[in-house]
C-alpha cells in the first residue's frame, strides 16, 4: 500500500554536503566576539518508563553545525592561533555497552566521516574543556541540555553568552540543499494526507488515519515531525488534540495536522474534510472562509514584507467572513478590535504561522506572540500559513447558532519565500472542496 501511495515521489535529495557544514561553521565562528569559545551540546535522552526511553532526537543546533546526531555529542569551537577549530567530543567505544545499546563510532570513527577538525573522547571532556576555557573571555553556551557540560561551565569566571542569537539568523535562511530536503518532506507528507482522505470512512477510528499516515512516513525511512493530530467533530476544535482515540462519525469533519521529517527537516500540513465525503452547508461555509483566508495569507508571503502581514491578511478575511455569516455583529473594526485581538479571536485564537526547518516551530522568532522583534520576509525563508476557525460545542464561553457547533477547520501549507513570490512546498495536497470530496472514501 505505501509504495502505491507514493509512487510519484522522486528520489530523496542529496544530504547536506560537508562543504556546507564547514561553511556554516566558518560563518558562525566569524560572528563570535573577543577571545571566545563556543560549546554546542546535544539533547538529553528522555525516559518513557523506568529504564526505557523515547526515541532519541538530536539537537538541531548541533546537527546544523556538525551533522553529528549521536547522544552525548559536544562540539567546541575555539581559536588555535588565528584559525578556528571545531573539536567534537563523543562517547568512547565500549563493546560491553554497545552490545546492549548499539554501536557507536567513537572519536576515530567520528574524525573519519564528519566535518570536524578534531575529535576526543567524552571521558576527557572536563580536563580539556577547562584548558580551553582558561584563556577565554567569553563562553557561548546554552545551559540545561548536558549536565556534565553545565557543571564545567559553572566554574567559568568570564562572560557567558548565548550562541543562538547568531545561529538563529543563519538557520532562518535555507540553502538550496535544505530547500530540496524540505520540498521532499512536504511532498511525502502531502501524499500521505491524500491516502488518509482516500481511506477515510464513517465508523473508522481517528487512530486508523494516524496509522496510515505514520506508517507511510516510516515506510519512507521518515518519521513524524510532531505528534500527529487526528480530530473529528468537536475534537477538531482542540488545537493540540493528540488523543486520536475517537470513532469518526457520519456527518462530522475530521482535521488532520501531520508532517514528517526528512534528514531532520520538517513538513507541517493540516487538512480538514468530511468523514462521509460530503460537506454540509454549514461546514462548507466555514471551510470556504478558512480557505479564502489561507489563500490571502499565502499571497502576503512576499519577500520584503513584514512577518505580521500574513496574519493581518488572514485575520481580515476571517473577521469579515464571520460578520457576513452573522456569527459576529458590528463593523470590521469592531470584529478585529485593538491590536488584532478583537472578538474574531474567540474563533481564531492562534497565530497564522511559524518558521519551519530543523524544528517544526523553527527558530527565527517568527511566531506571533513570541514577543521578539518582527522579521522581514526574505528569500530562502520557509513559513507555514495555517488559519483556522473553531466552534467547539463544548465551549461555554461562546454564544453561536447551533448549526456551527462542532465545526473545527484549519488549513495549513508550507511556503518558501522567493524573489518572485511564494512557492507552496505542499501543493500536492489538494484543498479545494471539489477535489477533496472526489477523494474521500474511494478505496
Contacts by residues 57-62 (CB-CB < 8 Å, ≥ 24 positions apart): 58/264, 59/145, 60/171, 60/264, 60/357, 60/358, 60/359, 60/363, 61/142, 61/163, 61/164, 61/167
Q: Taking CB under 5 A as the rule, does residue 362 contact Mn ion?
A: no
Q: Which is nearer to ligand GLY, 164 or 367 (CB)?
A: 367
Query: Cα separation of 240 and 244, whole Å?
Result: 11
Binding segment for Mn ion (CB under 5 A), chosen from 11-19, 103-111, 406-414, 426-434, is: 406-414
* Smallest separation, CB 156 to ligand GLY (Å): 37
Judged by CB under 5 A, which of 253, 384, 413, 415 binds Mn ion? 384
Q: Taking CB under 6 A as the rule, does residue 413 contact ligand GLY?
A: no
Binding segment for Mn ion (CB under 5 A), chosen from 30-38, 110-118, 136-144, 252-260, is: 252-260
Q: Taking CB under 6 A as the rule, does residue 386 contact ligand GLY?
A: yes
Judged by CB under 6 A, which of 70, 268, 359, 414 binds ligand GLY? 268
Q: Taking CB under 6 A as the rule, does residue 367 contact ligand GLY?
A: no
Are the CB atoms for 126 and 115 separated by under 8 Å?
no
Closest CB to ligand GLY: residue number: 257
Judged by CB under 5 A, which of 146, 180, 206, 268 binds Mn ion? 268
Q: Taking CB under 6 A as the rule, does residue 261 contact ligand GLY?
A: no
C-alpha cell at 439: 477523494
Q: Taking CB under 6 A as the rule, does residue 156 contact ligand GLY?
A: no
Binding segment for Mn ion (CB under 5 A), chosen from 76-84, 260-268, 272-280, 396-404, is: 260-268
Query: Cα separation of 195 and 414, whole Å?
Result: 19
Residues paired with 270 in a beta bridge: 257, 412
* Smallest separation, CB 3 to Mn ion (Å): 26
Query: Cα separation of 360 and 358, whole Å?
Result: 7
Judged by CB under 5 A, which of 187, 195, 257, 261 binds Mn ion? 257
**DSSP 8-state class, residue 155:** T
Query: Cα separation of 166 and 26, whole Å?
Result: 12
Judged by CB under 6 A, which of 109, 226, 288, 424 binds ligand GLY? 226
Query: Cα separation of 29 and 25, whole Å?
Result: 6
Q: How many helices (H) and strands (E) does the chain have?
A: 14, 19
Q: Which of 130, 108, 137, 132 is nearest to 121 (CA)?
A: 108
Interface residues with Mn ion (CB under 5 A)? 257, 268, 270, 384, 412
Interface residues with ligand GLY (CB under 6 A)? 226, 257, 268, 354, 360, 386, 412
Amino acid at each position: 500500500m505505501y509504495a502505491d501511495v507514493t509512487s510519484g515521489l522522486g528520489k530523496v535529495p542529496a544530504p547536506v554536503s560537508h562543504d556546507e557544514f564547514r561553511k556554516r561553521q566558518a560563518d558562525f565562528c566569524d560572528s563570535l566576539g573577543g577571545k571566545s569559545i563556543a560549546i554546542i551540546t546535544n539533547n538529553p535522552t528522555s525516559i518513557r518508563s523506568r529504564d526505557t526511553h523515547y526515541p532519541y532526537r538530536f539537537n538541531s543546533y548541533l546537527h546544523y553545525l556538525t551533522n553529528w546526531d549521536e547522544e552525548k555529542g559536544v562540539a567546541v569551537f575555539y581559536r588555535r592561533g588565528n584559525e578556528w577549530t571545531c573539536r567534537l567530543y563523543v562517547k568512547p567505544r565500549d563493546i560491553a555497552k554497545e552490545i546492549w545499546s548499539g554501536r557507536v563510532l567513537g572519536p576515530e570513527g567520528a574524525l573519519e566521516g564528519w566535518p570536524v577538525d578534531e575529535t576526543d573522547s567524552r571521558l576527557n571532556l572536563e580536563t580539556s574543556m577547562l584548558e580551553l576555557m582558561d584563556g577565554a573571555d567569553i563562553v557561548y553556551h546554552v545551559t540545561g541540555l548536558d549536565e556534565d557540560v553545565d557543571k564545567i561551565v559553572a566554574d567559568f569566571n568570564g562572560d557567558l553568552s548565548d550562541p543562538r542569537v547568531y545561529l538563529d539568523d543563519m538557520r532562518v535562511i535555507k540553502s538550496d540543499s535544505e530547500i530540496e530536503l524540505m520540498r521532499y518532506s512536504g511532498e511525502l507528507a502531502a501524499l500521505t494526507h491524500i491516502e488518509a482522505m482516500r481511506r477515510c470512512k464513517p465508523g473508522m477510528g481517528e487512530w486508523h488515519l494516524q496509522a496510515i499516515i505514520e506508517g507511510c512516513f516510516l515506510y519512507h525511512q521518515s518519521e513524524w515531525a510532531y505528534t500527529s493530530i487526528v480530530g473529528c467533530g468537536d475534537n477538531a476544535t482542540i488545537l493540540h488534540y493528540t488523543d486520536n482515540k475517537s470513532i469518526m462519525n457520519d456527518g462530522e469533519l475530521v482535521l488532520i495536522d501531520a508532517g514528517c521529517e526528512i534528514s531532520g527537516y520538517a513538513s507541517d500540513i493540516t487538512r480538514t474534510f468530511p468523514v462521509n465525503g460530503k460537506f454540509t452547508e454549514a461546514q462548507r461555509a466555514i471551510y470556504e472562509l478558512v480557505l479564502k483566508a489561507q489563500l490571502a495569507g499565502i499571497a502576503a508571503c512576499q519577500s520584503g514584507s513584514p512577518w505580521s502581514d500574513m496574519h493581518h491578511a488572514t485575520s481580515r478575511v476571517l473577521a469579515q467572513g464571520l460578520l457576513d455569516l452573522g456569527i459576529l455583529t458590528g463593523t470590521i473594526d469592531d470584529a478585529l478590535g485593538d491590536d488584532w485581538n478583537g472578538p474574531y479571536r474567540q474563533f481564531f485564537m492562534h497565530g497564522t504561522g511559524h518558521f519551519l526547518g530543523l524544528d517544526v516551530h523553527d527558530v527565527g522568532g517568527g511566531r506571533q506572540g513570541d514577543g521578539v522583534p518582527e522579521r522581514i520576509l526574505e528569500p530562502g525563508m520557509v513559513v507555514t500559513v495555517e488559519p483556522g476557525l473553531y466552534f467547539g460545542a463544548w465551549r461555554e464561553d461562546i454564544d453561536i447558532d447551533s448549526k456551527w457547533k462542532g465545526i473545527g477547520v484549519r488549513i495549513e501549507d508550507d511556503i518558501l519565500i522567493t524573489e518572485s513570490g511564494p512557492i507552496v512546498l505542499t501543493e500536492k495536497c489538494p484543498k479545494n472542496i471539489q477535489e477533496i470530496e472526489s477523494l474521500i472514501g474511494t478505496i
